[in-house]
Amino acid sequence: MTARIIGTGAYVPERIVTNKDLMAFLDTDDAWIRERTGICERRISTEEGTSVLAIRAAERAIADAGIDPKEIEIVIVATSSADRSFPSAASDVQGAIGAENAVAFDITAACSGFIYGLHILQGFIQSGIYRTGLVIGAETLSKVLDWSDRSSCILFGDGAGAAVIRADEEGVIRTLVGTDGKKADVLWCQARSLRNCLTGGKPELGFMVMDGKEVFKFAVKKVPEIVNQILEETGTAREDVQHYVLHQANTRILESAARRIGIPMEKIPVNIDRYGNTSAASIPILLDEMSRDGRLKRGDKVILSGFGAGLTWGAALLTW
């Protein structure tokens, strides 16, 4: 048995923030952002937290799959921007959707989070521990961005995407994940003060810190490397894969990946123009769009690949 995606859902906040909106308070330029990143606009949450976005996406995925929430045995939320340190966003989701038979927990693997979640659930399904689960990528990174830092804040947006996953004969063929903790300082965000109040610390929340060039260099090398590795290890010809659903961080990274994998850009779907980089949510939001507009057909071979803070990376080959 393997893990098969049987339903998808996505939810993004209503508020659209365009590049021109950013120019009102930031020394930036619409043309620069479009050319250097491919982003035109992003969704930014005003009142909704990460858990609310995750719940809405989960409800839509469950409706799409046509299952009873009580059938769900495990809820995994991949997020780097949970509203609270504890309980987990997954606990909020489990309670809100009535998945009363499910164990629920969060994972933090930044933009690789959805693939890490799929990898974990695949392990549980292969070992026969669970049959039905929910993997959600949900982020409100707008709350950890330094909106005066033009080199990072222009890149990200808020949103959530979810997938209902069930044991089946066909589905995930192979997952591949990795971490390089020595590069943790390339992209990071302080969650708490390192000192406690008793010994003279004061509570502080940090902003995201990013070495954009280092992340770029890492991504253009790592994404083709792991995609080629998964093709090789499974004996799959690149032409036999219909869709390469890659983490939406920058269209220049996607174009470079297309060249290095040796596939046309038509095989790499793009929605970063409308949502920016939604981190762990980017891949499931894209899968949901493609499933609903008919681009994804049952039996299609699909590769997913993500990368992010950690540094982390992941790829999956699956039959839709």
> CB of 23: closest distance to ligand COA in angstroms?
9
- Interface residues for ligand COA in 236-295 (CB under 6 A)? 249-250, 277
Q: Which is it for the CA torsion 284, 181, 258, 170, positive or negative?
A: negative
* Residue in 19, 111, 153, 243 annotated catalytic: 111
Between 34 and 238, whose beta carbon lies closer to ligand COA?
34
Give the separation between CA 36 and CA 39, rounded to whole angstroms: 8
Contact flag: residue 213 with ligand COA (CB under 6 A): yes
Under 8 Å between Cβ of 183 and 17:
no
> CB of 210: closest distance to ligand COA in angstroms?
6
Q: Which stretch binds ligand COA (CB under 6 A): 86-94, 171-179, 207-215, 254-262?
A: 207-215
Would residue 247 show up in a list of annotated catalytic residues for this protein? yes
Give the separation between CA 186 and CA 219, rounded to whole angstroms: 12
Between 15 and 36, whose beta carbon lies closer to ligand COA?
36
Give the separation between CA 92 and CA 79, rounded to whole angstroms: 13
Residue showing the smallest CB distance to ligand COA in the complex: 212
Burial class (CB within 10 angstroms; exposed 0-12, middle 13-18, buried 19+) of 161: buried
Would residue 119 show up in a list of annotated catalytic residues for this protein? no
Non-local (6+) Cβ contacts of 250 within 8 A are: 36, 37, 38, 155, 216, 219, 272, 277
**Type of residue at 61:** A
Non-local (6+) Cβ contacts of 216 within 8 A are: 250, 252, 253
> CB of 305: closest distance to ligand COA in angstroms?
12
Give the separation between CA 153 and CA 25, rounded to whole angstroms: 12
Q: Which stretch binds ligand COA (CB under 6 A): 26-34, 46-54, 80-88, 189-197?
A: 26-34
Contact flag: residue 215 with ligand COA (CB under 6 A): yes
Contact flag: residue 212 with ligand COA (CB under 6 A): yes
Give the torsion through C-alpha atoms of 75, 77, 78, 80, to 10 deg: -150
> CB of 166: closest distance to ligand COA in angstroms?
29
Give the separation between CA 308 and CA 305, rounded to whole angstroms: 11
* Residue in 19, 189, 243, 247 annotated catalytic: 247
Per-residue interface string for the shown chain with ligand COA, residues 140-169, x marking contact by CB under 6 A: ----------xx--xx--------------
Between 69 and 269, whose beta carbon lies closer to ligand COA?
269
Would residue 111 show up in a list of annotated catalytic residues for this protein? yes
Secondary structure (3-state) at 13 = coil
Contact flag: residue 37 with ligand COA (CB under 6 A): yes
Q: Which residues are catalytic?
A: 111, 247, 277
Q: Which residues bind ligand COA (CB under 6 A)?
A: 28-29, 32-33, 36-37, 111, 150-151, 154-155, 210, 212-213, 215-216, 249-250, 277, 308
